[in-house]
Structures are given as C-alpha cells and as structure tokens.
Amino acid sequence: MARKRKKYYTAPFTAKQALGVSAALLGILFVLTLLNEAMGTHLPLPSVAQMQAVFDKMDLPGVEWVDEILAQSPTSGGGLAAAPTQVEGDLKVHYIDVGQGDCQLIQAPEQNILIDAGDQGLGDEIIEYLEAQGVERIDLLIATHPHADHIGSMAEVVDHFEIGEVLFAQTPNSLLPTSKTYERLLDSISNKGLQITKAQPGNRYDLGGGAVLDILGPQREYLEDLNDNSVVCRLIFGETGFLFTGDAGEAAEEDLLNVYDSSDLQADILKLGHHGSSTANTSSWLKAVNPKYAVASCGKDNSYGHPHQEVVQRLEEMGISLWRTDQTGTIVVGSDGANLDVQMERQAA
C-alpha cells in the first residue's frame, strides 16, 4: 500500500536570506577548493580556476579578495616541469599544460612567440617554465581571444618579460568582456607603454632562420560567439607546419575553408579548436588541414568533457593521432625543418 505523502513545508526564510545562504555556501566551497589544491589532495571539487571563473562571471562587488588569495595560492595547472627540454631542432613548439586552458610557446631561431597564457593563478608557473627554456623576451604575444582560460595569467607575463608586440583579434564591442582579468591585462599592457596590434589575416611574421608565422584569421567579426573571433595562425619551418586555432569554432573554420586552399592550411600538428570541442574540428576542416597529430589542450576531468568523444572518434577514423595535455602534460615538438622530435612530460596512462 502506498504511503501517505508528507505535506511539503513552506521555506521558513525569505529569498534574500536564501541568497545570503547561497553566497556563504559558495564561500565555503571556495575555501575547500583552495585547501584541496594547497594540500595536494584530490577531492572531487572544482579547481580554483573554475571557482574564479564563477566569481568572474558573477562579477560580484567586494570579491577582490578572491583575486588577492589567488595571487598567492598554488596553481591548478598540470605541474609544469620547469626544466629545459631535450628535443632536437632549431625550432621548438611547446604545448604547455596549463590544465583547462591554452598556452603555447614557439621558440623560433630568432624570436619567441607566446600564444595565450592559461587561466588565472598560473602566472608564476608559466614564467618559471618560460625562463627554464631560456626565454627572456617575448617578441610576439598573441591573445587568441579574451576568455579567462586564455588570458587569465597574461598580465603577469606582460609585467615580467620584455615584450615586442601584442596581438589581439578584432572583436565586436558587444562581446568584449568586462571581467577584472581582462581589465588587468589591458592595464599591464598600457603600463608597459605597449600598443595592441589587431590581427590582420595575410600578415606574415618573419621569425628568422626561415621560420614564418602567417595570420589566417579571424576572417571577420563574429557577433554570435566570442570564440569564433580567435586569432588563427600557421607556423611554417621548412617542410614542417603547425596550426594554432584558439577556440575558433565551426563558423570560423568554414570561412577559412572558403578563403584558403588546403595547401594554405595544411599542418603536421593541429592544435584542436576549443580544447577539442565538437563545436569545432569539423570533418571538412580536419580533412583540409590534414594533420598527422592533433593536440587537445585541456584539463584532467574538465567539466566540459573536452575533448569531446565525437572529435576523438573523428580523429581516429581519419588516422590522426591525438595528444592530450591532460594525459601527457606539456608536449614539446622540435623541428629541423624536415623531421619532428617529440617529448612529453609523462606517458599517457
């Protein structure tokens, strides 16, 4: 016999009180998150960076203390090995493991390029890694687009290193973030007396020793999705090529396919768009780029499920090997213009 249902209570508190309780719970969760990372325990909690992203989105007044704590807190990256790499070749590309986010270093014969700088709280770790590689000056600093997982720690990088040029994509005003992270980056850039150059498709950067970087996108302003406004660029050294896409999605890929021949897009290594999301990395795009290897820059057990299974399967069917920073840590590829030499921080489990 079915039991008689209990009567529901009416909540004994007001909406305002409920909001207060939620804020307090969020605060407690944040403290637990900090402790979890500080003590190196691996409780199933969100990362500090994820919590920061939540605070950032809420844009609550009076949470500057979060930024202050973060500046001193241990980081949520994959633990960069701050030792110089051993790969062969005059050119090196580092797909730096910054957890859920993007950060790639190109060491060309005469210039250093940094594309994105991970989420918040990773400044010290990124600086330490770059210094261990002998980087003193960043000739070209590219922010693919102003989402926190790409520009989170860029202000610290700007403050620390000598910077040649800063490259941003032209982004519709309606999509520009109002986050403190973004404002802090703009402040750091102007405090250094630097100007921001807009990424211009067709522009070519001579990196010395025969290495060049071509800006391919964004082809236009995308009003729907900030990700599609990502800077897309291709590095060519001899016969070897590397394509970087930020978080560009399907719409951006389609425009690039309309403008360029496959020979202009082809690359040995493709950094997958948007951490390997199925909103990017279409079959026709992968076919045109025709890479041997694809890199998904993503965090372990990230809440987005990146890289998406659909993309993983697509790569498998096309015979493209997938490297994931969440599994292998930082990936460094050396090129002598003909051959690639690869070193990973650890073996994928």
Residue 91 CB, nearest distance to Zn ion (Å)? 25
Residue 233 CB, nearest distance to Zn ion (Å)? 16
Segment interacting with Zn ion (CB under 5 A) among 55-63, 118-126, 141-149, 312-320: 141-149
Mask for 233-272, x = binds Zn ion (CB under 5 A) = --------------x-------------------------
Of residues 101 and 334, the one with the C-beta less far from Zn ion:
101
How is residue 203 written in tokens? 């522009």
Residue 23, C-beta contacts closer than 8 angstroms, at least 6 positions apart: none
Segment interacting with Zn ion (CB under 5 A) among 144-152, 251-259, 262-270, 308-316: 144-152
The number of C-alpha atoms within 13 Å of 84 and in the hemisphere containing its C-beta is 7
Of residues 247 and 250, the one with the C-beta less far from Zn ion:
247
Segment interacting with Zn ion (CB under 5 A) among 11-19, 103-111, 146-154, 205-213: 146-154
Of residues 247 and 326, the one with the C-beta less far from Zn ion:
247
Segment interacting with Zn ion (CB under 5 A) among 15-23, 145-153, 186-194, 337-345: 145-153
CA pair distance 138, 149, nearest whole angstrom: 20
Cis peptide bond prior to 201, omega within 30° of 0: no
Of residues 228 and 247, the one with the C-beta less far from Zn ion:
247
Site size with Zn ion, rule: CB under 5 A: 2
Q: Which residue has the tokens 């957890």?
A: 99
Q: How far is CA 84 from CA 132, 277, 332, 345, in A?
A: 5, 31, 10, 11
3-state helix, strand, coil in the chain (%, to 5): 35, 20, 45
Element (H, E) at 258: helix 250-259
Residue 148 CB, nearest distance to Zn ion (Å)? 9
Residue 108 CB, nearest distance to Zn ion (Å)? 24
Say how many residues make up the chain: 349
List the interface residues with Zn ion, window 79-138 (CB under 5 A).
none
| Nearest in space to 155 (alpha carbons), one of 131, 189, 132, 129 | 189
The number of C-alpha atoms within 13 Å of 275 and in the hemisphere containing its C-beta is 27
- Interacting residue with Zn ion among 56, 90, 125, 149 (CB under 5 A): 149
Residue 275 CB, nearest distance to Zn ion (Å)? 6
| Residue 225 in contact with Zn ion, rule: CB under 5 A | no
Q: Which residue has the tokens 């079959």?
A: 283
- One-letter amino acid at 18 equals A
Q: What is residue 288's three-state secondary structure? A: helix
Segment interacting with Zn ion (CB under 5 A) among 40-48, 61-69, 148-156, 258-266: 148-156
Looking at residue 88, what DSSP letter applies?
A: -
Of residues 89 and 246, the one with the C-beta less far from Zn ion:
246
Residue 229 CB, nearest distance to Zn ion (Å)? 12
Residue 246 CB, nearest distance to Zn ion (Å)? 7
Residues within the interface to Zn ion (CB under 5 A): 149, 247
